[in-house]
Amino acid sequence: MENFLSGRFYTITNIGKVRKTNEDFADAALNPFGQLMIVVADGMGGQNCGDFASQTIGKGLIKEFKEYEKPFTKNKQVSKWLYKNINKYN
Query: In terms of C-beta distances under 8 Å and separation of at least 24 residues, what long-range contacts does 27-30 make, across chains too?
Result: 27/58, 27/59, 27/62, 29/62, 29/65, 29/66, 30/66
Give percent above pLDDT 90 in the chain. 54
Model confidence pTM above 0.85: no
Residue 27 phi, psi dihedral angles, 5° rounding = -160, 165
Give rounded-to-5 percent helix, strand, coil for the chain: 35, 15, 50
Tens of pLDDT, residues 9-19: 788 877 777 77
